[in-house]
Every structure is written in C-alpha cells, then in structure tokens.
Structure 1
C-alpha cells in the first residue's frame, strides 16, 4: 500500500477530529452490498505436513475418486470433526 503524503495525512487527521454528523458523504460511492456474500470464502486454514498410515483399500478408494485425494481426505476428516463438535 502506498504511503500517504503530508496533505493526505492532514486531511485524514482533520476528518478524524470531526463529528460523524458533520462529515458529508454526498460524493462517496455507494456502499458495497453484501447480498450473496459467502462467509469464510477466503479463509485458508494453515496446513501441516503429516505422515499417516492408511489401510491400502481406503487409500485406493480415495485415489479412485479422482485428483485431489488429500483434499478429499481433509474434507472427510473436517466433517467428522464438526459433527463430533456439535454433540
């Protein structure tokens, strides 16, 4: 992000000192509408590398579902975790 110049800094400070009722928003663009917003859309949990031993048939089934078996395994584990947490 760009650093503010002196004039911009003065303007921001002047606005900060003003009461909200005195600030004109007539020339401000329309506010963002949050219709259709998705909670957690950009949430990216931290991933940890892990070595795990799975039954061969379980791993074969995960891989047979197509690309992304690790993501699928994570989703299955997360669903189980959330179901358990609701109890």
Structure 2
C-alpha cells in the first residue's frame, strides 16, 4: 500500500455504486420480497450430481494437513483420493 491520497473525483471516476438518493430509499424493498422465488432456495443445494459424501470429523497430523493445504483448492478431495487409492490396494 502507498500513502497516495485519492480525490473524490478519482473515486467518482471508478465508482460502480453511486450514492443512494431519497427516492432510492423510498423505493427500496426487502430482498425476500423482490426475489421471493429465490428466497426459499438460498443456502440449499440442488440435486447431487455425484454420490453424496459422508461428513465426518477426522484428526490428522499438522504436517499432513499443511502438505495438502499447500496444494491449493481441492486439498480435501485430494486427501479423499489418496485414501480411496489406499483402500483399493489393500
């Protein structure tokens, strides 16, 4: 970060969210009212495309978790695959 100051004109130039007017506030309606067809589905998953996995708690060594997390997004799925491979070979 720098100590550079930005003017209001700078912010106005890049702003995608203009200040609300009194009329905007008067016309505002709750999300659930405007999107009532979506409100009941917020936070709910649709039908599973693949077999559902079982949620569980598993205690792993810190070095194992660090190794897989360092591989980026999907690290838990990679642990799952390693365990599947082990099960298949034993």
Give the alignment's TM-score, normalised by structure 1: 0.45
* TM-score between both structures, scaled by the size of structure 2: 0.44
Larger RCO of the pair (alpha carbons < 8 Å, separation 6+): 1
